[in-house]
Structures are given as structure tokens and as C-alpha cells.
Amino acid sequence: MYNSLWFDSLIKPPLAPPDSLFSPVWIFLYITIFVALVLYIRKSEEFKESGYIYFGIQLFLNIIWSPVFFAAKNIGAALFVIVLLDIFVILMVRKFYSVSRAAGLILVPYLIWILFATYLNAGYFLLN
């Protein structure tokens, strides 16, 4: 799926981290996302359905971003996907925080990383 020749040929935006940073960051983030979900599930609040919807949509968008960017090599479509992802992560963080402060706060690094990834995606789009 990952075409390193294509990706390596792209002009990288300023602040682009080394490729070796992505795996450890995502492992950490997936663990925090899971912990936040568990904390959210364990709260016995009413009206939590929207949080599950936001979680599901952001997970779907997170999963499809890589194939759109790397396999389809469609940087513009990937930018559209990641902007949608930003919106649903923000909605999820707000909803999780309203039910469980800890769940919402645990998601802040994910939100920051996704916003940084949006900057990178936009940079690749503009530079290539």
C-alpha cells in the first residue's frame, strides 16, 4: 500500500518529521484513544449516543486517510478527509469531555497530532 518511491519524491513541507516518528506516535495515540473510549463507556451519563457516533466517524476517516493519501496518491482528497477528521475529532473531544473530563483530556494529544497532520497534508498538497 505504501509507495515509498512516490512519497519520497514529494517536496516535504517545513517541520515534516522523520518517517521513523510516525509509528511510535500512532501507537501512543491509539492507546490513548482506547483509554478515552473506555472511560467514556464507563460513565453512566445519559445522551452519550452522539459521542459514539463521533467516535465511529472519526475512526472511519482515520482508517481511510492512509489509503487515500498513499495508495490512491490523491493528496487533495486526503486533505478533504483529514479536514473532516479534524471536525469529528473536535466534536468527539468536546462530547467526551462533557461526560468524562479525563476522557476528553486524554484525547488532546490526538487532536494536536491530527491538526499537525492536517498542516502536513496541506503542505504536501500545496508543494506538489
**pTM score, whole prediction:** 0.94
Separation CA 93–CA 105 (nearest Å): 8
Residue recorded with cell 482515520:
62
The low-confidence residues of the chain, meaning pLDDT below 70, are 1-3
77: its cell numbers: 482528497
79: its cell numbers: 486533505
pLDDT of residue 25: 97
pLDDT of residue 35: 98
Q: Which residue blocks in the chain are alpha helix, DSSP H?
A: 4-9, 22-42, 49-66, 75-99, 101-106, 108-127
pLDDT of residue 3: 65
Nearest alpha-carbon partner for 128 in 86, 56, 93, 79: 79
pLDDT of residue 96: 97
